[in-house]
Structure formats: structure tokens, C-alpha cells
Structure 1
Amino acid sequence: MEISPASARMFAGILEQRTGQLLPPAEQGRLEVALDTLVRAHGFGSADAVAAAVAGGRDPALSDAVIEALLNGETSFFRDPECFAQLSDIVVPRVMAARPDRALRIWSAGCSTGQEAYSVAMALAENAELDGWQVDIVATDVSRGAIEQARAGRYAEFEVGRGLSPDRAAAWLVRDGDAWRVRAALRDSVRFHTLSLLDTAPLPGTFDIILCRNVLSRFANDVRRRAVQRLARAIAPDGFVMLGAGETMAGSAAFVAEAGFQRPVPASQG
């Protein structure tokens, strides 16, 4: 299925307008794949016909469906295992040492279909030193469809195989027909919300750890600056922000890199 340059620009424009995310010209191949199912499901003859209908503005639901199709939801359980090793071995112990109230708040921003948030929940549940702690995990994404799947906690065989060891799969998931479902106790430990990173943070107060991985790199520069400001307001003064591989907050006066993480600049230095 081919898409004309004019339609590709229109799709990229509506995605940026509605979500702040960029769709570089080099990713037009992904655009074609992403829209193929939508074209068939809605009975259009081509993606260009979809673009014309969206441009006409007569069907807001179609525009929403296009945005859902174009959002990049690439994720997996324990994606980038070294990041989760750092989370368990460095970040969580340092935060625990500074929390006499024995409460830990974590935000997975841009959680897609939930594998990252559930991976965090698994890692924390396996940490015996957190027994008796109040652990609050909040996960958000701009995609309503992604959040619906995350709340359901139901994953296909190939999704489970991407990152989950057989032992962890057996411990935390149960068979559900031809797929797998996260056990109820683990599902209940994560609260999922549809939310843009540019919106107000999920709850009043601040988070001890924020995972915002492979999100900032998809924003235009001005949108990225606003997102970083949002993170700065949501993180505790001694908290940690984890970014994706290759991402950086360089140029932001609110954060400083430390041991592979981003830490808020102390108020006396800001």
C-alpha cells in the first residue's frame, strides 16, 4: 500500500499536532504498515482516501483511530535488561535509604501496552527488602488502546517471549486461551491512566523514580523542553529519572546526569 507524499505529510502533521510526536520522512515505511489495518477495517480503498476523509474533518472518531495507529508503541518486558539491573541494584536501594516513611512512588511515563510497568512491578515484588513498604506504581500513555491492553494485562505468546524468562512467566502470568494474562495481584499493583506527558502529572506530590524511556527522542525540540519541565515538576528533589538508550536531557538546567541516570539539580544550584 503506497501513500502519497502529501498524505504522509498530513498524517505526520496531525500526529505532531495532537501528541507532539514527530514522524520523520525516513519512517514512511512504518506509516504504511501502521495504517494498513485501519484502511481495511474502515473499508477505505487506500491510505490516501483516509487522509482525504480526515482532512474533511467530518469524522472525529476516524482522526482518533489514525492517531492510535500512528503512535509508536514499541515495547517489551524488561526491555534493555541493563537498565532494570541498574534500577534494582542502584536506584531502588538509594531511594530506600532516603525514605524513612517506607513509601516508594514510581511513574512509568509513556508505558505503551504496559510491559515496562509490569516489569518494574515484578522486580520490586521480588525484592524481599521491600516487604512492608507502600509501593505505588503509576503508568501512563497517550494511547487509549495501549492503556486498555495494559489494564487487561493480556499478551500474546510472542509478547511474553520478548523479555520474560520461563521462570518469571510462570510466576507472574497465567494462561488465557491462546495468550497469557498477568496475575491479578500484579495487575492490581499498577494503576494505568491515559495521559500525555505534557499534561498534569498523574497525582499530586512527587515521584521517587520516573521511567521515561524512548519518549523524549520522538518530540520536537519545543515539545521536548515542555516535557522535561513536566518531569522536573514531578520528580522528588533526590529522585531519579531513567531515559532510553541514547536519550539525554543535555541543555536542561533542571537535571544533571549521574551514573547513567538523570537527577534533579539541587535547589541551591538551580
Structure 2
Amino acid sequence: MSIPPMQSPASSSAANNMIAALLEQRTGQQIAANRAWRIETALKPLLRERGLNTLDELVTQLMATRTGELSDMVVDALLNQETSFFRDAAVLDMVADAARELQAETPHKRLRIWCAGCSTGQEPLSLAMLFEERSVTNPGTQPEIVATDISLGALARAKSGKFSQFEIQRGLSVRRMMSWFEGNGSEWTANAELVRKVQFRQQNLAGDPPPPGKFDIVLCRNVLLYFSGSLRKQVFDTLFSAVRPGGMLVLGAGETVIGQTDQFVPSDRFRGFYHPAAPKADALRKAG
């Protein structure tokens, strides 16, 4: 994809604006003006790697290059990959409870879970551990977990199952660390069995269709915060197309469907979650 046009990277402010525009063009994610400091902080390692001193020099290279490799590196570095194991653990416990109830309704059908914006994989791996520990379904029929992210770098890390000592200690009990991971110095590696429980795929919520098939539960937590209002509505359309009737949508603590879309409504059954809205009466009449 081409770099947003700009006459000259004459100032740091102009460089910030161009880099922010590149991120939004490629991913739909916005960087608020009061968080522009994130740009330089996130790109410092890339600047050092390429022997550059300023963002203006980086922008000059972006404008001069004929390939998208540098643009990919910039975008990947700017993506917010903040995550941790068992983040908002009470929410994941409720997901496991909902999965058990949904499975009881269709005991011969394997549940399907989609984790959208999975970053480096801690959320879907946490769910895989939780489902196994709580025996959500019969042995051998644990829910199918599909996890997607736009960042190939994050997905590569997720697939490797390798985490630092800091990452492994964020949210994991000693029991889970010892049960599901193997330590080697400051690096911990998830058991291959655990990683195999998750299908990691690249997907851009801002433009790509959802993974094939319908899902019983979709988690899209702390992703919509970075989108504009119009793009958020488009993403809700994508999420709606992926949830089966009777299924659930799980958002982050600071996110809601209220005032954003009429395709999802708060669930009476699972507090804090959302389910697809029932078809409107006029649509039903037309269908009939």
C-alpha cells in the first residue's frame, strides 16, 4: 500500500503526522494527539537498527523506498501489543462458564471461539488452559480456538510459544507456569500441546473478512478503542457476520456496543457480554 502523500518531512511534527497516517491507512488504528509520544518511543529500536537519528530521517527513507518492507516494519512497531496471561481473569472465567452452557445446549457440536486482535497470543492460550482445567467439554472435544492479529511479528511469537520471564509472570500462577511451560534461563516456552490448541492466523479487522464459519463466542477486547467511529461500525459488521445466532461477543472493559451499533445488544443471560440482535419485524416480513 502506498505511503500517504506529503510534500516534505520538514519537522518532527510533520514526521509524526505522516507516520500516524501510515498506521491508520494500513490498520485503521489511530494515535491520539496526546499520545503522539508513543511514535518515537515505539520506533527507537528501528531507528537504531537502521542507523538513523530522527523520525525525519526515517520518513525520508519511507518516501524514497520502492518496497513495502520498511513500511511493514514501521507499522508493526507501532501496533499496540499490550497483553498478558489471564488479563481480566474474571472475564475469562465468565467466558468459560458461557462456553459450558452453550456446549450443554449442543453436546454433539464442537464450540468455536474467535480471539480477534490476539497480539502475541496470551489471551487464546489462557483460554486453552482454562478450558482444559475446567473440563468445559468432554475430553477430546475442547473448543476450537482461532486467534487472529494483523501483525505477522506478533503471530510468529505466538506460534513459537516463547515468552520472557516478565511476560510469563504476568497473570500466571506458579502452578500454571510449571504445568504448561518449560523454563530455560530467562525464556519460557509453552508446551507444544498447548500451542496446538490454538490456530493462529493473520487478519486485519479494518478490512479483511472474518475467519470462515460461524463462532459461538467472539472476543475482541481492547481493540476497538483505537478505531474511528465509522471504522468501528464497520468492524462491528464484521464481528456480527461471524457470530452465530445465540452466540456471544465479548469486548474490553472500556468498550461497548451502545451508541456504536444496533447489531448487538447487551445479554440478559451472560452479564457484561453481548449477543446478536434479533431481526427486526419488517425484515422478517420481507423475508417471509
Q: TM-score, normalised to structure 2's length?
A: 0.88
Distance (whole Å) between structure 2 residues aligned to residue 74 and residue 172 of structure 1: 22
Counterpart among 259, 264, 267 of residue 255 in structure 1? 264
Counterpart CA distance in 1 for 2:166 and 2:68 is 33
Q: Among residues 225, 238, 245, which one is paired with 1:237 in the alignment?
A: 245
Residue number in structure 1 paired with 2:94: 86
Aligned-partner Cα distance in 1 for 2:232–2:31: 14
Moved more, 31-40 or 122-131: 122-131
CA distance, structure 2, for counterparts of residue 129 and residue 34 of structure 1 = 39
Q: Give deviations 1:95-140, integer Å, cap 9, x for gaps.
A: 1122232311000000000000100111111122412325211000
Please tell me whether residue 117 in structure 1 is matched to residue 129 in structure 2: no
CA distance in 2 between counterparts of 1:99 and 1:216 reads: 31
The 1-side partners of 2:160 and 2:251 are apart by: 26
2:184 to 176, 187, 202: 176
Aligned to 1:227: 235
Q: Equivalent pairs: percent with the same residue? A: 41
Q: 1:264 aligns with which of 262, 272, 276?
A: 276
Asked whether the 8 Å contact 1:75–1:112 carries over to 2, the reply is yes
Q: 1:88 to 1:256 in 2, by over 3 A?
A: same
Structure 1 window deviating more from structure 2 (8-17 vs 80-89): it is: 80-89
Matched, 1:72 2:84: no
SS in 2 for 1:103: coil
CA distance 1:230–1:264, change in 2 (3 Å):
same
Number of the residue aligned with 1:199: 208
- Please state whether the residue corresponding to 1:200 is helix, strand or coil: coil
**1:219 aligned partner, one-letter code:** F
Q: CA deviation at 1:45?
A: 2.1
| 2:115 corresponds to 1:108 | yes
Q: What amino acid maps onto 1:123 in structure 2? A: L
Larger Rg belongs to: 2
Alignment correspondent of 1:146: 154
**How many residues of Structure 1 are paired with residues of Structure 2 in the alignment?**
266
CA distances 1:10-69 after superposition (whole Å, capped 9, x unpaired):
011000000000011111222111000000011112121101221334342111100001
After TM superposition, the score normalised by the length of structure 1 is 0.94
1:212 and 2:220 correspond:
yes
Matched, 1:96 2:103: yes
3-state SS in 1 of match to 2:144: strand
Q: What secondary structure sits across from 2:90 in the alignment?
A: helix
Secondary structure at 1:130's aligned position in 2?
Answer: coil
Tell me how far apart the structure 2 counterparts of residues 130 and 100 of structure 1 sit (CA, whole Å). 8
For structure 2, the 5+ residue unaligned runs are: 1-10, 284-288
Aligned 8 A contact 1:110 1:140 in 2? yes
Alignment of 1:33-72 (within 5 A): 33-72=41-80
Alignment root-mean-square deviation, CA = 1.5
Structure 1 gap segments, 5+ residues each:
none
